[in-house]
Amino acid sequence: MSFLKKLHGLQSPISISIYNKDRTFSGGTVTESFPATADLTVNGYFWQGSRAEAVVSEKIRATIDGVLLIDYTDMTIAVEDGARAVLNGDTFDIVTEDDILFANEVLLYPVRKIN
């Protein structure tokens, strides 16, 4: 049984919308914005506090507000640098991606709240 299937019995998944930045190049100037529609919406989990701290690098532990856990097979897009996630009405910057802890089973995204 996968890690997330075991977790589902303990915690309900939430809807997570992922937005990659749109970049427009014009006259040597780069303009960045986020699309109005999510690039991907998946069910996953949001951990905060000691749960989040236990699964992230010590280097970024003090700078994040939580971690997203998403099933590896649900990710049909690449999450780019500077991407954002929206869950429960809150918006977060995605800091980095890590699948090392759960060996191609769960993607872990440390996040910082921006609103």
Whether the pLDDT of residue 90 is over 60: the answer is: yes
Q: Report all structural domains of the chain as residue ranges with CATH numbers, in order of start.
A: 3-113 (2.40.10.370)
Over residues 34-89, the pLDDT tens digits come to 889 999 999 999 999 888 888 888 888 888 999 999 988 888 998 888 899 999 99
When pLDDT is cut at 50, 70 and 90, the band that residue 5 belongs to is low
**Can you tell me the mean pLDDT for 91-113?**
80
Which residues make Cβ contacts (< 8 Å) with residue 57, sequence separation at least 6?
none
- In this predicted structure, what is the pLDDT of residue 19? 96
